[in-house]
Amino acid sequence: MKSLLKSAPPSAIFGMVVLAIVAFTGIFAPIVAPYGETQVVGDAYLPWSAAHPLGTDNLGRDMLSRMVFGARNTVGLALLTTAISFSVGSTLGMLAALKGGWLDEVLSRLVDVLMAVPPLILALMLLAIVGPSIPNMVGVIAVIYVAPVYRLSRAAAMNVVGLDFVEAARLRGERTPWLLRREILPNIWSTLIAEFGVRFCFVFLFIAALSFLGIGIQPPTADWGSMVKENATLISFGDITPLIPAAAIALLTVAINLIVDWMLHRASGLKS
């Protein structure tokens, strides 16, 4: 681990530090936050002070506490959604590449249909049907992002399934789960890990966008996207408070991309 960190460029180290701070803040939110997530602590839109370092929001809740709990909710849900979409999409992609035939054809055509509709429009339509709750939002976004994960994992697995060691395992009589887990997955793992980071950024921004539009994480749950919308009126008075959650979204996105770029560079085997 030490040698890995020593070889990391400053940009990747910066990304790791930002990611570690956000993870720590989200995990220990009840301890880090000075007030409760939904606790009203004063009048609306109080200015920055020692008691409220980022002031209060439109309902008189402490903005710093809302930011801390927002890290847990927004990032945690994005991680859960990405994990679900990757588990389903990568498994189906590897299975389609391994089996081929009608299974590959059916799954690929379903994915084509799913990807033909713009993701935001599809999410708005589905959430309007099933309702804007957290489980529904996670399920809808996971389904939407299964498609690109499927395409990537299938393309990566297609380069492996025809190799000699996979054919040898088939001739030995190894079953499909063993082939997927022991022969294909280890050889496309670096590609999937890098894609996981990129896809997490997309999901994270997607959840923030839906919350900003009012159909993502619902009040009174703290969320960085909805916090921008709830306090947007302060911008008219020259107050930068609404820009803080927006800056947090941008900073975390940049940090993860810096880490992913470094991982891709290492996986490529290229020298700096």
What backbone torsions phi and psi does residue 172 show, to the nearest 5 degrees?
Answer: -75, -10
Segment 170-182 mean pLDDT? 83
Of the pLDDT bands very low, low, confident and very high (cuts 50, 70, 90), residue 35 is: very high
Q: How far, in Å, CA of 40 to CA of 59, rounded?
A: 7
pTM, two decimals, is: 0.86
Q: Are 63 and 52 in contact (CB under 8 A)?
A: yes
Mean pLDDT value across the chain: 86
Q: 249-267, pLDDT tens digit by residue? A: 999 999 988 888 887 777 6
Q: Could you say which DSSP state residue 100 is in?
A: -
- What are the structural domains of the chain? 72-268 (1.10.3720.10)
Q: 86-109, pLDDT tens digit by residue? A: 999 999 999 998 888 888 899 989
